[in-house]
Amino acid sequence: MKRIGAQEARKEFSTVLNQVAFGGERVVVHRHGKDLACLVSISDARLLEEIEDRMDLEAAREALKEKGKNIRLSKLKKELGL
Question: What is the third-level CATH fold of 2-66?
Answer: YefM-like fold (3.40.1620)
Domain ranges of the chain: 2-66
Position 71 scores a pLDDT of: 86
Q: Please report, as a single letter, which amino acid is at residue 2.
A: K
pLDDT at 80: 94
3-state secondary structure 14-80: HHHHHHHHHHCCCEEEEECCEEEEEECCHHHHHHHHHHHHHHHHHHHHHHHHCCCCCCCHHHHHHHH
pLDDT in tens, the chain (82 residues): 999 999 999 999 999 999 999 999 999 999 999 999 999 999 999 999 999 999 999 999 998 888 888 889 999 999 999 9
